[in-house]
Amino acid sequence: MVRKYLLHIALCVGAAASSFGTSSCINDPVHNSAVNALGDETPGYPEESQYHRPGQPCTTCHWTQGPGSNKFVLAGTVFWGQCNITDQEALNPAIVKAKCDRQPVDRAEVRVLASKGGAKCFYTNCAGNFFVREDEWNGLTYPLLVSVSKKLSTGQYKVAKMSGHIGREPSCSNCHDNPARAVSPGQVYLYEYNEKGELALPAEAKALKCPPEAPNTDPPKECDL
């Protein structure tokens, strides 16, 4: 009789442990909600590729819990211009997207100086995206100092430096999202609006077609410091 009770108890404990274990592995509601909040893929960029979802927080998926297959220790998107929209426009996600997310910079150079682990430079691709996989920078330790530059057709460089440092956030857009407001300086950009309210972008500042519409030139991932 006692043996029978012990068997029941063991089965109950086992079932409970199994159900707790399972739920903690695949059912993190906070993570699931963050992934779902990203919504559908951005039109015009090949899905599930290095060119997808420019301007979105990469490490929501490309982190320990997935579902992205690679874990990034730093990733983001560089745009040509500052996003400048009114309060009223900010209420309409379509306007925010149209005015702020359409001009990624191809082959911008993202220079990163780590508190430990040295310094490295990474190129953005045609979607403006850059990313550093975990195994691509061993010993990378936050905080980081970051600058972004782009060699223009005139031969000159346009440089934008972060005024502060990155404490520990691996996704640029978790802080740099649109519109600029009390909790965000806006997307990462090279050119800002001048005092007249104009955004004087160079001629080459236009959205490029990314693969598969345009041939993938496959630029080198890392640049010179």
Partner 1 sequence: MKRARIPVRLIGTIVGAMATFVAIMSAIGTQASCASSYDPNKTTAIVAPDYEIYKNYLDDFLDRRCGTLDCHGAPGRAYRMFGSKGLRLPTGTLFDVALVSGVQPTTEAEKRANYEGIIALEPEEMSRVIARNGENPLTLEFLRKPLGTETGQPAPGTRAIGERHKGGQVLDESDPGYRCIVAWLQYPVKLLPLDGAIPRDTGTPDTGAAPVDAGVTGDGSVSLGSPDLDKYCTQLPAYR
Q: How far is the CB of 88 from partner 1 (least distance, A)?
A: 8
Closer residue to partner 1, CB minimum distance, 32 or 115: 115
Q: How far is the CB of 169 from partner 1 (least distance, A)?
A: 3
C-alpha distance from residue 32 to each of 37, 60, 124 (Å):
8, 9, 28
Say if strands 79-81 and 189-191 run parallel, antiparallel, or are unpaired.
parallel
Binding site for partner 1 (CB under 8 A): 1-2, 87, 90-91, 141-143, 163-169, 174-175, 179-186
Residue 124 main-chain phi, psi, to 5 deg: -85, 160
Closer residue to partner 1, CB minimum distance, 164 or 212: 164
Closer residue to partner 1, CB minimum distance, 18 or 92: 92
HEC profile for 138-176?
A: CCCEEEEEEEEEEECCCCCEEEEECCCCECCCCEHHHCC
Q: How far is the CB of 119 from partner 1 (least distance, A)?
A: 17
Separation of alpha carbons 136 and 140, rounded Å: 9
Closer residue to partner 1, CB minimum distance, 110 or 127: 110
Closer residue to partner 1, CB minimum distance, 166 or 208: 166
Q: How far is the CB of 182 from partner 1 (least distance, A)?
A: 4
Which residues lie across from 133 on neighbouring strands? Answer: 72
Q: How far is the CB of 7 from partner 1 (least distance, A)?
A: 14
Query: Quick one: which of 61, 72, 68 has its CA closest to 33?
Result: 61
